[in-house]
Amino acid sequence: MRYALIFIIIISLNACSSTNQAEKNLMLENEKVTDFALVIHGGAGTILKENMTPELEKQYHAKLREALLAGYNVLQSGGSSVDAVEAAIIPMEDSPLFNAGKGAVFTNEERNELDASFMDGATQNAGAIGGVRRVKNPIKAARAVLEKSKHVMLTGAGADAFAREQGIELVDTSYFYTERRWEALQNVKAKEGETFILSEDDDYKYGTVGAAALDKNGNLAAGTSTGGMTNKRYGRIGDSPIIGAGTYANNATCAVSSTGHGEYFMRYMVAYDISARMEYAGATLEEAAGTVINEKLVEKGGSGGVIAVDKYGNVAMPFNTAGMYRGYVKADGEVKTFLYK
């Protein structure tokens, strides 16, 4: 009898301490971990060390670092998450390394058509542009839609015209040409034969760029910019300019930017799904983003990844492809960049 009593006491003490631990974990996850944070991606895909040269690796790390530092400087000096997201995306759009701005992939009609979106988590205002052909930095046009128009999404020639009215730099369409992307299109077309392929077998697959930031005032923002997918056709627009799929931000939960096979990200509302799991099911950022990318999308056959930051400054960067160009920086200023799993 006495032993039984001791046994029961030990069991209940154990139960108590594990409850306390669970509560402690929850508390830790729900505390601010940094004053501000920025996380970026330069696309997910078949990014394998064996396909990379040391020189190219260095270039990717350097460009990701440059983008992170541009955003960090904004956040460090008290700037907004919206300014930080734009500052981080511009150097990646200007670099031919990524499928956004200069270096965008080609459509089946052998043109470059760019998509981008922006969301402000404080106001939940959003702006997006789809299929633009002349805007040098599509992320600037998406931001202008967010801040200066009554609409959320503008497409095609109208979006180019809006950008011009807003004083945003337009370039000749030849600006976007890069040999690497041109060859990727020719390779896909050569393989295509009778059946149309939306290229998934380009070595670097998706090269969309995106950023998500938390600023010192606790405001979240996210933005995404892309050339879409090689060989896209009929004015195809992907997930990148779709609010809730490619981009989402809500001060109550998190800010997210996606990269991957857009058709899946649109059907499963990836960015919003992550936020909704946090809002309604009490998931942590890590749990929500991990489940959506590594369970739900994998089951459905959708490849890609996201970068995200929550209102406490936790970052998550899950992807279900071989690699994803990515990195983050928090208030301590330590810049981390990664390419592979």
- Binding span for ligand ASP by CB under 6 A among 1-9, 168-176, 221-229, 276-284: 221-229
CB of 138 or CB of 260, closer to ligand ASP? 260
Comparing CB distances to ligand ASP, the nearer of 140 and 236 is: 236
Cα separation, 137 vs 169, in Å, equals: 8
CB count within 10 Å of CB 95 equals 21
The reply on whether position 241 binds ligand ASP by CB under 6 A is: no
Site for ligand ASP in 27-66 (CB under 6 A): 43
Residue 208 sits in the site that holds ligand ASP (CB under 6 A): yes
- CA 215 vs. chain centroid, Å, equals 17
- 260 makes contact with ligand ASP (CB under 6 A): yes
Three-state secondary structure readout of 99-128: CCCCCCCCCCCCCCCEEEEEEECCCCCEEE
| Candidate ranges 137-145, 173-181, 234-242, 288-296; the one touching ligand ASP (CB under 6 A) | 234-242
Toward ligand ASP, which CB reaches closer, 80 or 108? 108
What binding mask, one character per residue, do residues 86-125 give for ligand ASP by CB under 6 A, x or -?
A: -------------x--------------------------
- The answer to whether 138 contacts ligand ASP (rule: CB under 6 A) is no
207 binds ligand ASP (CB under 6 A): yes
Is residue 206 a contact point for ligand ASP (CB under 6 A)?
A: yes
240 binds ligand ASP, rule: CB under 6 A: yes
Touching ligand ASP, residues 264-323 (CB under 6 A): none
Q: Please compute, for residue 100, the number of CA atoms within 13 A of its CA located in the half-sphere on the CB side.
A: 31
Is residue 339 a contact partner of residue 57, using CB atoms and an 8 Å limit?
yes
Pairing of strands 126-132, 153-155: parallel
Q: Distance between CA atoms of 114 and 237, rounded to whole angstroms? A: 9
| Alpha helix positions (H), 166-244 | 179-192
Name the residue nearer to ligand ASP (CB basis): 99 or 219: 99
Q: Among 259, 275, 284, 314, which residue interacts with ligand ASP (rule: CB under 6 A)?
A: 259
- Residue listed under structure tokens 């942590």: 284
Helix (H) / strand (E) containing 248: strand 247-249
Q: Which residues are catalytic?
A: 208
Helices (H), 33-155: 54-76, 81-93, 138-148
Name the site residues for ligand ASP (rule: CB under 6 A): 43, 99, 206-208, 226, 228-229, 238-240, 259-262
